[in-house]
Amino acid sequence: MGSQDQNPRRANSKQITIIKFRTNTIVKSQVRENRQNRIFPRKVAETIRKYRLIEPGDRVLAAVSGGPDSTALLLVLRDLRKVLDFELGVASFNHGLRKEAGGELEWVRKKALGLGLPFFPGKAEKDLKKKDARSPQERARRARYDFLGKTAGENGFNKIAFGHTATDQTETMLLGIIRGTGRSGLAGIPPRRPLSPKPGNSIMVIRPLLERTREEIVGYLREEKSGWREDRSNRDHKYLRNRIRGRIIPVIRKEAAPHLDKMVVRLAEILREEEEYLEALTREAWQKCRLAENRGVGLSVAGLGGLPPAIRRRVLRLAVSQVKENLPPPGWEVIRELEVISGPGRPARRLSLPGGVRAERVGDRLRFSIERKS
């Protein structure tokens, strides 16, 4: 009967072979997926160990908005908490800037509680849309950090984990170049830093995903079969960062640097190490130039004049930051004006700096103070 195999034993053998082949294919596919699921946490663990982001016994508060990056952060820290021996909590903050924000916070709450993790919600007490010297985004960022710092302090967390990625690092460095940032700005987002420069602060900000790309993160979430929430404002091209993300970076990747994020991660690490050395030199120079003042900060004009220009500019930036907390670093034009009025033979002169800080040359000293409202 044609080519049909009439031998039942032989036909059965073929069926068994087909079943085995299909089973092996399914098993191999599952093994590949499971292997990928293990690769991402392992790479994140390498970053954590490399920068000593988490130590045994730490209590880590994950800042989760519901977006892909922070959702991946939550899941990978859940996977690593027993291996690295730390406790994990989840915090989410509603800035009140978008109507979807309440639903996003509720989504994060269900996700955290579904994983058996303690959840800490927060909401902005003030209308962050009201105009003042800062942008709504800057006010929202400050409100979120204040909430996270307070929540961590009141509940015994010594680390706050954020979901910044290698892709964020690329955006930040390109944004810095466009705005004319200095060397410290080119070093980008640090993997760890104190939450506050105030003495006695023991809470650290950590970024375990800083060496992982957005593509890796989305792949990990899909393998974990986890959804996430999309913030539509991230696609609004009226913001420069979004234009860099949506228009400029894709062209660079396509035309010049397919592995742009990895190259930026390497560059940022080199710059951070050199920045640490320059910061140590700056602190030494600061101690030599600083003068006692009843209010504000005083610097010796002669001391400033004896410094190399690169260190002098850094000391001037440090002086401004010491007068008032949470000020953005002064730009090149401001620093240049401060160098001019602190130069040799300059008469008394005052400068009003951004953020309500005043600089004043008085004899052989340069004084920095908070500008009084008339």
* DSSP 8-state class, residue 201: -
Residue 39 tokens, joined:
């690769």
pLDDT tens-digit readout, 350-364: 899 888 899 999 989
Q: Mapping DSSP to helix (H, G, I), strand (E, B) and coil, where does residue 116 land?
A: coil
Q: pLDDT band for position 50 (50/70/90)? A: very high
Residue 220 and residue 124 share a domain: yes
pLDDT tens-digit readout, 264-322: 999 999 999 999 999 999 999 999 999 988 889 999 999 999 999 999 999 999 999 88
Name the residue range of residue 333's domain.
292-370
Residue 340 and residue 192 share a domain: no
Please calculate the CA angle 185-280-181 and round it to the nearest 5 degrees: 15
Report the number of distinct structural domains present in the chain: 2
Question: Which region holds residue 324: left if phi is over 0, alpha if psi is between -120 and 50, else beta?
Answer: beta
Task: State how far the alpha carbon of 333 is from the alpha carbons of 97, 181, 292, 296, 361, in Å.
Answer: 33, 11, 27, 22, 17
Residue 177 and residue 40 share a domain: yes
Q: Are 53 and 149 in contact (CB under 8 A)?
A: no
What per-residue confidence (pLDDT) applies to 184? 80
Radius of gyration of the chain (CA): 27
pLDDT tens-digit readout, 243-261: 999 999 999 999 999 999 9
Q: Is residue 5 part of a domain?
A: no
* pLDDT above 50 (res 59): yes
Q: Is residue 287 part of a domain?
A: no
Sheet with strand 349-353: strands edge to edge? 290-291, 297-300, 365-370, 357-362, 349-353
Residue 177 and residue 45 share a domain: yes
Residue 50 and residue 120 share a domain: yes
Q: pLDDT band for position 134 (50/70/90)? A: low
pLDDT tens-digit readout, 21-35: 444 444 444 444 455
Residue 221 and residue 128 share a domain: yes
Residue 255 and residue 319 share a domain: no
Q: Is residue 8 part of a domain?
A: no
Residue 315 and residue 180 share a domain: no
Residue 304 and residue 266 share a domain: no
CATH of the domain at 346: 3.30.465.60
Q: Where does a domain end: 239, 271, 303?
A: 271
* DSSP 8-state class, residue 56: T
Residue 265 and residue 343 share a domain: no
Mean pLDDT of 112-140: 78
Alpha-carbon distance of 51 to 48, in angstroms, equals 6
Q: Is residue 276 part of a domain?
A: no
Residue 177 and residue 326 share a domain: no
Alpha-carbon distance of 25 to 135, in angstroms, equals 54
Q: Are 189 and 210 in contact (CB under 8 A)?
A: yes
Q: Is residue 51 part of a domain?
A: yes
Q: Where does a domain end: 212, 242, 271?
A: 271
Q: Is residue 282 part of a domain?
A: no
Alpha-helical segments (H) within 246-342: 249-255, 260-289, 301-305, 309-323, 332-341
Please give the helix or strand (H or E) that residue 38 lies within, else none.
helix 8-50
Please calculate the CA angle 150-153-155 and round it to the nearest 5 degrees: 105
Nearest to 357 by CA among 335, 57, 115, 348: 335
pTM higher than 0.75: yes
- Helices then strands, counting H and E runs in the chain, come out as 13, 11
Residue 225 and residue 98 share a domain: yes
What per-residue confidence (pLDDT) applies to 16? 46
Single-letter amino acid code for the residue at 146: D
Please calculate the CA angle 264-158-57 and round it to the nearest 5 degrees: 100
CATH of the domain at 159: 3.40.50.620
Q: Where does a domain end: 213, 237, 271?
A: 271
Q: Is residue 13 part of a domain?
A: no
Give the mean pLDDT of the chain. Answer: 86
Q: Is residue 348 part of a domain?
A: yes
